Amino acid sequence: MKSFCDLSNFCEYIVKRYGSPGAATEDEKAEEFRKIYLRNLPSNLRALRAVASACGVKLNSLDGEKLPQNLRGYHEVFGDKRNIYYRKNDTLSGIENTILHELREMIEPIFTDVCPGYEPLRTIAIHRAANSFATAVLLPKAEFEEKVYETGFDVIALSEIYSKSCSQVLLRMGEVIRGKLFFYAALYEQDETTGTDWRVNYWTGSHNEDIPEANVYGADGFFPKKGREVAAGSPVDKVIQTGKTHLLKHITFSEDVDDGGLVAIVQPMILPVSKTGKIAMIMMLKSDSRNLEPQIVKSNPVVIEKVRISISGKEFRYEYGS
């Protein structure tokens, strides 16, 4: 039997099992990777170091200023020598993600060698694939989805359970729930320079294939994309002012009086070391609010019974009531 210490043999295995690298999703590639290399081991830094070593990949830490701008890591291949470089002072989850990301990028050209006719992914596509692969290894789909429902879509709790960043957990949530439930999730973070400005740094969402009319994306102010600042008077603003989790039990739009409405929970997380914070907002159909119950029970939020939202151009006005 061929040794999987040779990455070429892993690539050949994928091709034999799926017919082509392109026929296997990144989740499927990640599952095969876990099964072969990690087996029953936890996907932590110690295990990933062992996997890299077994595959002949040398891991190297670098000071941030020695890394190319805006990169957390990179890899080099010279003949039989393979090196992965990562940011020395990065978080544990960041280093784990970098190792897996670079391994996936390292594997892509090998696929072209073992599968004639396979067209390798282009630069942006391989970067996205590597991100998905790394996250799928660290947060296995079936287990993670179960934990999402078990915690009531609690981004902060999931981050603690898996020892992964809130951003990675939030984005993975969107991947595993996609097509099963309508929801929107955003992670707001403080500007580390000013310590006051809050904006969306990460967001994700899922539509509901069974109820297409529930897919109400489009109002960028209400379902904000990356970079959007917190609006004065918004639910997130209330959490910033009070430091307390808020539950909005019934959200409606003034022009859609008869819609079923939405429900949202907005939870803060303060980071005492850096004196900065994060706020996670989860929003879904009111008819699906039972999915938030575990998070509601745990966080004991301030309850706002009704929120009516008026929209004028790009401006949003929030009316709160009991």
The pLDDT value recorded for residue 190 is 84
Q: What would the mean pLDDT of 89-109 be, rounded to a whole number?
A: 94
The pLDDT value recorded for residue 156 is 93
In CATH, what number does 7-138 get? 1.10.10
Whether the predicted pLDDT of 269 surpasses 60: yes
Between 41 and 186, the more confident residue is 186
What is the 8-class DSSP label of residue 231?
Answer: P
Q: Which CATH architecture has domain 141-321?
A: 2-Layer Sandwich (3.30)
Calpha distance 133→156 (Å, rounded): 22
Q: pLDDT above 90 covers what percent of the chain?
A: 61
Q: Where are the domains of the chain?
A: 7-138, 141-321
Calpha distance 191→276 (Å, rounded): 8
The pLDDT value recorded for residue 277 is 83
Tell me, what amino acid is at 30? Answer: A
What is the 8-class DSSP label of residue 203?
Answer: E
Between 157 and 255, the more confident residue is 157
Calpha distance 183→204 (Å, rounded): 8
Write the secondary structure of 53-95 as one string of H (helix), E (strand) and C (coil).
Answer: HHCCEEEEEECHHHCCCCCCEEEEEECCEEEEEEECCCCHHHH
Lowest mean pLDDT, pick from 1-5, 19-23, 275-279: 1-5
Q: How many Cβ atoms sit within 10 Å of the Cβ of residue 196?
A: 8
β-pairing verdict for 57-62 and 315-321: unpaired
Which of 176-190, 221-235, 259-273 reaches the highest mean pLDDT?
Answer: 176-190
The length of the chain, given as a count of residues: 322
- 216 — pLDDT class (breaks 50, 70, 90): very low
Whether the predicted pLDDT of 240 surpasses 70: yes
Asked if 152 and 181 touch (Cβ cutoff 8 Å), the reply is: no
Closest CA to 241 of 198, 295, 291: 198
β-pairing verdict for 57-62 and 73-78: unpaired
Q: What is the pLDDT of residues 7-17, one digit of tens each?
A: 899 999 999 99
Structure tokens at 85: 């470089």
Looking at the DSSP bridge assignments, the partners of residue 199 are: 189, 229
Between 249 and 1, the more confident residue is 249
Q: What is the pLDDT of residues 128-150, one digit of tens each?
A: 999 999 999 999 999 999 999 99
Helix, strand and coil percent figures for the chain, each rounded to 5: 40, 25, 30
- 4 — pLDDT class (breaks 50, 70, 90): low
The pLDDT value recorded for residue 3 is 62
Closest CA to 169 of 143, 124, 135: 135
Q: What is the pLDDT of residues 21-67, one digit of tens each?
A: 999 999 999 999 999 999 878 888 999 999 999 999 999 999 878 88
| Side-chain half-sphere exposure of 194, counting CA atoms within 13 A | 7
Q: What would the mean pLDDT of 175-196 be, rounded to a whole number?
A: 84
Q: How far is CA 225 from CA 149, 155, 269, in A?
A: 24, 18, 20
Burial level of 117, CB count in 10 A (0-12/13-18/19+)? exposed
- 194 — pLDDT class (breaks 50, 70, 90): low
Angle among Cα 186, 189, 192 to the nearest 5 degrees reads 165
